[in-house]
Structure 1
Amino acid sequence: MNKIELLAPAGSMESLIAAINNGADAIYLGGNKFSARAYASNFDNETMQKAVDYAHSYNVKVYVTMNTLLKQNELREALKYVGYLYEIGVDALIIQDVGLISLIRDVYPEFELHASTQMTIHNAEGALYFIEKGMQRIVLSRELTLDEIKYISKDLNIETEIFVHGALCVCYSGQCLMSSMIGGRSGNRGRCAQPCRMQYTLQGETLGERKGYLLSPKDTCLVEDIDSIIKSGTASLKVEGRMKKPEYVAGVTRNYRRAIDKVIVNTKFDLHKGRNELAQLFNREGFAKAYLYKNVGKDMMSYNYPKNTGVFIGQVTNSGEVILEENVGLGDGIRFLDDGFTLSKILKNNQEVKEAFIGDKVKLFPTGGYKKGYKLYKMSDKRLYDELKEDLKPYKKKINLVGEIEFKVNAPLCIKTKFNNKEYKVYGEIVEPAENKPLTRERVEEALKKSGDIPYKFDKVFFDVFDDGFIRIASINNLRRDLFDKILKEVSGYRRRRNEEVPKAKNIKSAEELGYIYSCITKEQLRALVEEETVKNIALNVFFSRKNTALNKEDLKNLYEQGIENKNIYLNVPNIIKGEFNYIVKIIDELTPYIKGIITSNAGIIKLFKDKLFIIGDYKLNIFNKEAAEFYAEDVDISSVSLELNRKEIKELMKDINCKVAVNIYGKTELMVSEYCPIGSTFGNKSAKKECSKSCMKDTFTLIDRMNESFSVLADNSCRSYILNSLATNLIEEVEELKSFNISSFRVDFKDECYEEVKEILNQISNKKKNENVKYTKGHYRRGVE
């Protein structure tokens, strides 16, 4: 059985201590900047060093999250911070921005780098691509199945990390622009406003509507699947929760520690009790197994309540009593509807009790607010939280050592021990001949087995020599502390050396200027583009939809065979490709004679075709800075910059750049892409047990939010869903300014536009002026993101 790492979150020093006390092998945490949990407490430099030293004193590794996209003017500060983390001994960095990765590879080549789940690595070729780029570990997308995890981890022998517990994003991490486009708070910058936890109405033109928290997944809980997960070959099991309380971190960590130990060393673990405890700590209408077993339907969603649900304890009867389905005690937090109270009195058989148990018929106080028929939930368990609070005490956990003692008259007292396969030895005062009563072995052993605010403790003591002698007990205590301090100083005080190198020259692919590149997904859109003489570059997405209006590979071949003069044909390849990867590669190979190149942000596709085809990188590559553009320019001919940059940031990115980039000037931004399909799940009753009714092929759907904004919802050939922005971004009038930044390639993407709307946009491009009678957005071009 391979060694497995339990990786716990820490949003504070208390959480770090709680995780270590409960058996975490490694901790991930964030600094004050560059972390994807910008609203967590996080660690300033002083606290960060204390955290690293404390963790290392227990042989626990520390990974620091720098998993946000970085603007050009932030890179210098970010690299300086990397240097600080390097020097204080941080074990690895978890990173999203490839520009920062490129700089770290040059300046700190020995620093271990982990590819964040924000990098959306979700297939084998993508994992191999980033391993070849210098990543030591891949944090896989949460959407992978157990078989996919096994193939990447075991069959390809790639070090991977997967999430086993906690909140699940409905969109692929790193691909979500919903919070950013709606409210300017970028999930890629650690400031997600969680629009997925809001209430929506999904409306079909003919099939009616459904209302609820349609984008809110249940939390993941894989504590029952630890055996299978360990056998998959993954290296690390990650618990989500840097925003959670220390007690949550303590409780979740201890249950996964016990589950792992049950598999690895055959210790006992009450799985039912553990799962109940996890549910009490936090759940959203129960738990789900995410995508581990291909369950992508409504079974994984919390449609009715997006927050912590608590544990159901019973329904109020006619008499105002409750027949308990869970134990309760004084001080527990109780919820009904959106209200609640702290339990101050329990009446059982008209007598006050401090606690009551399953099956008891009780009255709970205060009774004001809840009525007959109300369902009551226990939101917090006082006994459990009091128990977990004990785990927040520093140095509660002890590492047991074996001491060897030389207690020899007329010689210095000597204590030695082994830790991490290294011997440590200290000498103290001279042991004097006993004038009266000599010290006993028991008294010396008692003094040696003491332990204060330090991780180490002697649980066994052996005497190599023991004479009838005397030494002050205070001297023994001091020498024991000296030995432990010596170990602590070496283990937790470890520092790396600064190792700067000259940045290496990059092998940039040469690229031609393209002008405008138009993408389409329907036959009518294609017809409108072909009719326009000024359109020279057309990209067809033949993978997107099963509707009869959708493009297919024959449409692309026919377009080529028509021999349309002066038109270049490209293939628009999906950015997310999982089980259908080999099929899509086969189609690209089949269509290669008919196309000039491809558009994609899928790293696996880029890896396979970088030396075979002209590649235009899609905007979901999340290019925020010049270094990121040049990182991909080794393999991509033209990269599209992120839609989250404003004009000043684009201008800054273009200074002294050594590669070609494109800017999207028109299109409905893809806000979310998900393995979960709200159409099939809410209209088709899609679950793990029932087939999809293919409602997406029968109707047109929009998602309506609480502000009455409407977002188109589309589904592709692989039953993935896409949510588009309510308004199309239109930067047609900004093209001249963009040209002044030395940009000469412009993307125009059509998704749900009809023939007439495509014609309208082509007319606007021709006239260099947008239609004032149609409502558009400039996206982030003027405002940008935090």
Structure 2
Amino acid sequence: MKRIELLAPAGSMESLIAAINRGADAIYLGGNKFSARAYASNFDNEMMMKAVDYAHSYGVKVYVTINTLLKESEIKEALKYAGYLYDIGVDALIIQDTGLINLIQKTYKDFELHASTQMTVHNGEGAIYFTEKGLSRIVLSRELSLKEIKHISKDLGIETEIFVHGALCVCYSGQCLMSSMIGGRSGNRGRCAQPCRMEYTLKGEKTSSKKAYLLSPKDMCLIDDVEEIIKSGTSSLKVEGRMKRPEYVAGVVDTYRRAIDKVIYKQKFDLKKGRDKLTQLFNREGFSKAYLYRNIGRDMMSYNFPKNTGILIGKAIDKNEVLLDGNISIGDGIRYKDDGFVLGKIIRKGKEVKEAFKGDKVKLVPSGYKKGDLIYRMSDKKMYDELKDYVKPYKRKILLQGELEFKVGLPLKLKTKFNNKEYEVLGDIVEVAQKSPLDMSRVEECLMKSGEIPYKFKKILFNTFEDGFIRISSLNNLRRELFEKISKEETSSYRRKRFKCDISEKKLKIGEDLGYVYSCINKDQLKALLEDNTVKNIALDISYTKHKGALNIEDFKNIKNKNLFFMTPNIIKEEFENIVKQIDEVLPYIKGLITSNVGIISLYKDKLFIIGDYKLNLFNKEALNFYREDIDIPTLSLELNRKEIKEIMKTVDYNVAIGVYGKTELMVSEYCPIGSTFGNKSNSKECNGACMRDEFTLIDRKKEEFKVLGDNRCRSHILNSLALNLVEEIKELKTFNISTFRVDFKDEKYSEVKTILSEIKKLKKSENRVYTKGHYKRGVE
């Protein structure tokens, strides 16, 4: 069985040290800019170099995340930063922004690039597309099943990385605009405000309501599935947690290291103890296996408590006593309801004790709990004290065998082998012993010390040893010099010198000017569009055929004198072949596609006219250029503001689209809050179709209502509470050289479509309707 990489998070130098001490093969971390964990401590340039050198001295790889979308004003600085990382020997970059990929490949052709999970690679065709674009590794979407991971990793032979532990987003990474649209903090730029961890009410027009943390998933934990994951052919098992404490990193990495070594080297490891340890470190009402076995229901979610739950260890039988269901110690962190304390005293049978055990009746001090309260242990002091020890630098040692020549009248000679290289140093001259010669065991004892260095001798071979004398400090200096020589050579071997690559210009597609392009999902919307003679371009979305009045394949065949487009879902997994069959069936009737699915783009780039959808997250000119071989008209991200759009378009000489009307899709998820709340209780794909019998909205704490739509694959789509409406900005957008305008209808009725068409003709919004301008004025952080 092949060696598999255990990839650990580091939000600080302490976390990096802890991860290396506990056996990580690689570390991923962020600089103080352009990282999707903007609120982690992260590393400035000086600390980054120290981190890289420290890791490399252990042979541990370092991947740096530049996994945010970059504004036109930022991309040159990001490229310069990538150059610094290139110089200091970073092993690879994890990137989201395709514009930065484009520039790095022009500038540092041999810099290894990994596709971030923010790029939403979730099918084989998409993985192939980015691999052919020069990315060495694909960090797959968390939503993939074991079968899908195996198909991409083993069957297609693509190097992949998957998350195995930690926080789980309810929306596909890279597709979430919820934090951005409702609060201006973009998850795509590392500043997510985590609206998924808030409480919501799900309400149907005909159905009762349910209030809970409906969008808050449990953390994923795949400790029991390590063997099957390794067999899938993936290359790297990734732990999430750059915002977590070093002790958390040490504990999780240690547990997965042992689980991996149990599979590969048949070492002993108690999985139950490992699972219990992970649960104590952090859990949200337990764990889930994410989507590894296609489980998509309520068991994935922490409906009652969105934060760390801890472990239930007892119940208050009155205000003074707790009946324990687990062990506790002084210094443990305790929670009851939303309150908590650090345990200062334990009183059992009237006496203070340092610890108590399952079945004991005890008083916990300070108290405050009431009869009936459940008592949780949030942190285990004993475990954390043990884990703190692994935060110490150089605790992990690389064991070497030394060879010493100790000959009177000659310099000391110490040598060793490391990484198939031989290292040798000479020391002071061994003198004739005036009194007692230096004992061999004393020499050996001195050389087998270590200190602040990764290396340590496990054995010393004496090639020559004569009775003689040398100062102990000389032995210490000799050992230190040899180890420092190894460390310096090992770390410097990763350094690079920048050079500029010369690559030919790409052949660009030049898309024609289409004016307005309208999309719709039901027959009432289509009827309104067909009745308007000014409407020339219509995209049909047939992803909702289970719903009454939804469009279907036959609608393409019945429309005359219009430019028709097939609008694909953003997410296409096991239904990929079926979507391709649908496209092929309507080929005679359509002008092209509207899609943000790179797998579909890859398949049809040379066959059909393609409009790239806004979920491609095109944030800068270089991102547009990345797709210009393959897309006829790219649609700009909806997170850009007026100034940023204008800046991009200054030097763009081809047709670019922008969305001017529509309810923005805030989230798309394999999990469906409707089915999980009002449908079947199981985790299976089988559903009772609750979403088709009623219309549902999610209501937040500010009483904003977000429409929830379920598609043919039982994925849920959460729409913004207000429709984007930029009809009054169209004149200005035309002066920026924008010539194609997207108008998307999702839940609008026939009369609303008519109203919007009228507004577009007048370039004037209706006074009695409430809309949003999205980010056009404000932009995102």
Within the candidate set 740, 761, 764, 1:745 is matched to: 740
Q: Which residue of 1 aligns with 2:103?
A: 103
Partner residue in 2 for 1:660: 655
Counterpart Cα distance in 2 of 1:782 and 1:64: 33
Contact 1:447–1:476 at 8 Å: present in 2 too?
yes
1:314: Cα distance to partner?
A: 1.3
Give the alignment partner of residue 756 of structure 2, picking from 752, 755, 761.
761
1:364 CA displacement: 1.6
Q: Which residue of 1 aligns with 2:521?
A: 521
Alignment of 1:585-664 (within 5 A): 585-664=580-659
**1:261 is aligned to 2:261:** yes
**In structure 2, C-alpha distance between the alignment counterparts of 1:39 and 1:686, rounded to whole Å:** 37
What amino acid is the match of 1:146?
L
Q: 1:682 corresponds to which residue?
A: 677
Select 2:708's aligned residue among 713, 716, 719.
713
Q: 1:346 and 2:346 equivalent?
A: yes
Letter in 2 for 1:45: N
**2:480 is aligned with 1:481:** yes
Residue 209 of structure 2 aligns to a residue whose secondary structure is: strand
Mapping 1:379-390, distance limit 5 Å: 379-390=378-389
Pairs within 5 Å for 1:67-86: 67-86=67-86
Q: Give the match for residue 93 of structure 1.
A: 93
- Please identify, of 346-355 and 643-652, the stretch whose mean Cα deviation from structure 2 is larger: 346-355
Alignment of 1:42-441 (within 5 A): 42-318=42-318, 320-367=320-367, 369-441=368-440
- Cα distance in 2, alignment partners of residues 158 and 209 from structure 1: 45
Q: Distance in 1 between matches of 2:309 and 2:606?
A: 52
Q: C-alpha distance in 2, partners of 1:353/1:758?
A: 72
Q: Which runs of 5+ in 1 are unaligned?
A: none
Render the CA deviation track for 1:253-290: whole Å, top value 9, x for unaligned: 11111111111111111211111111111100000000
Paired AA for residue 674 in structure 1:
S
Shift of 1:413: 1.0
Write out per-residue CA displacement over residues 620-658 of structure 1, whole angstroms, 9 at most, x where no aligned residue.
000000000111111010010000000110011112124
The structural deviation recorded for 1:526 is: 0.4
* Partner Cα distance (1:159, 1:695) in 2: 40
In 1, the alpha carbon distance for the partners of 2:117 and 2:707 equals 26
Counterparts of 2:298 and 2:174 in 1: how far apart (Å)? Answer: 23
Q: How many angstroms apart in 2 are the aligned matches of 1:552 and 1:625?
A: 36
Offset at residue 659 of structure 1 (A): 3.3
2:518 is paired with a residue of what secondary structure?
strand
The within-5 A match list for 1:534-549 is 534-549=534-549
Equivalent-residue separation in structure 2 for 1:544 and 1:120 (angstroms):
22
Corresponding residue for residue 3 of structure 1: 3
Deviations 1:48-67 (A, max 9, x none): 01100111111111110000
Counterpart residue identity of residue 402, structure 1: Q
Number of residue equivalences: 780
CA distance in 2, matches of 1:159, 1:484: 35
**Do the aligned partners of residues 94 and 689 (structure 1) sit closer, same or farther apart at CA in structure 2, a change above 3 Å counting?**
closer
Q: Secondary structure at the match of 2:317?
A: coil
Q: Give the Å deviation of 1:497.
A: 1.2
Deviation at 1:586, TM superposition (A): 1.1
5+ residue gaps, structure 2: none
Residue aligned with 1:445, SS? helix
- What code does the residue aligned with 1:213 have? Y
SS of the residue 1:433 aligns to: coil
Cα 1:350–1:691 shift into 2, 3 Å: farther
Aligned equivalents of 2:306, 2:50: Cα separation in 1: 36
* Cα deviation digits, residues 421-449 of structure 1 (max 9, x gap): 11111111222233332222211111110
Match of 2:442 in 1: 443
1:518-563 deviations in whole A, cap 9, x for unaligned? 000000000000010000000001123411211000111222xxxx
Does the alignment pair 1:582 with 2:577?
A: yes
CA contact (8 A) 2:297 2:684 kept: no
Alpha-carbon spacing, 1:347–1:61, altered in 2? closer, same or farther (3 Å): same
Distance 1:660 1:421 in 2: 56
Q: What TM-score do you get using the length of structure 1 for normalisation?
A: 0.98
CA distance in 2, matches of 1:536, 1:750: 16
Is 2:490 the counterpart of 1:491? yes
Q: Which residue of 2 aligns with 1:456?
A: 455
**Amino acid of the residue matched to residue 172 of structure 2?**
Y
- Contact preservation (8 Å) 1:685, 1:693: yes
Paired position in structure 2 for 1:782: 777
SS in 2 for 1:64: strand
TM-score, structure 2 length as denominator?
Answer: 0.99
The one-character-per-residue Cα deviations of 1:283-318 (angstroms, maximum 9, x if unpaired) are: 000000000000000000000000111100111114
| In structure 2, C-alpha distance between the alignment counterparts of 1:593 and 1:666, rounded to whole Å | 29
Moved more, 463-472 or 21-30: 463-472
Distance 1:503 1:728 in 2: 43
Distance 1:488 1:660 in 2: 54
Following the alignment from structure 1 to structure 2, what is the Cα–Cα distance between the partners of residues 600 and 7? 33
The structural deviation recorded for 1:769 is 0.8
Letter in 1 for 2:74: E
Match of 1:472 in 2: 471
Deviation sequence 1:12-31 (CA, Å, 0-9, x none): 11111111111111111100
Identity of aligned residues (%): 71
* Residues in 2 aligned to 1:731 and 1:384: alpha-carbon distance in whole angstroms: 56
| Residue 690 of structure 1, CA deviation | 8.0
1:462 and 1:421 mapped to 2: Cα distance?
18
After TM superposition, give the deviation of residue 762 of structure 1 in Å.
0.4
SS in 1 for 2:601: helix
Partner SS, residue 377 of structure 2: strand
Q: CA offsets per residue over residues 486-532 of structure 1, 9 Å max, x none?
A: 00101123311112124531111121111000000000000000010
Q: What is the one-letter code of the residue matched to 1:712?
A: K
Q: Deviations over 1:49-103 (max 9, x none)?
A: 1100111111111110000000001011011000100001111000000000000
Structure 1 stretch displaced more, 718-727 or 457-466: 457-466
Matched to 1:13, the amino acid is M
Letter in 2 for 1:416: K
Q: Work out the CA distance in 1 between the residues paired with 2:337 and 2:273.
A: 26
Quote the offset at 1:141 in angstroms: 0.2
* C-alpha contact 2:519 2:745 (8 A) present in aligned 1: yes
Q: What is the alpha-carbon distance in structure 2 between the residues aligned to residue 343 and residue 232 of structure 1?
A: 45
User: Which letter maps to 1:477?
Assistant: N
Contact residue 629 and residue 659 of structure 1 kept, 8 A: no
Deviations 1:699-758 (A, max 9, x none): 000110000000100010000000000000000111111110111100000000000000
Does the 8 A contact of 1:103 with 1:503 survive in 2? Answer: no
Deviation for aligned residue 1:689: 5.4
User: What's the secondary structure of 2:74's corresponding residue?
Assistant: helix
The worse-fitting range, judged by mean Cα deviation, of 494-503 and 718-727 is 494-503
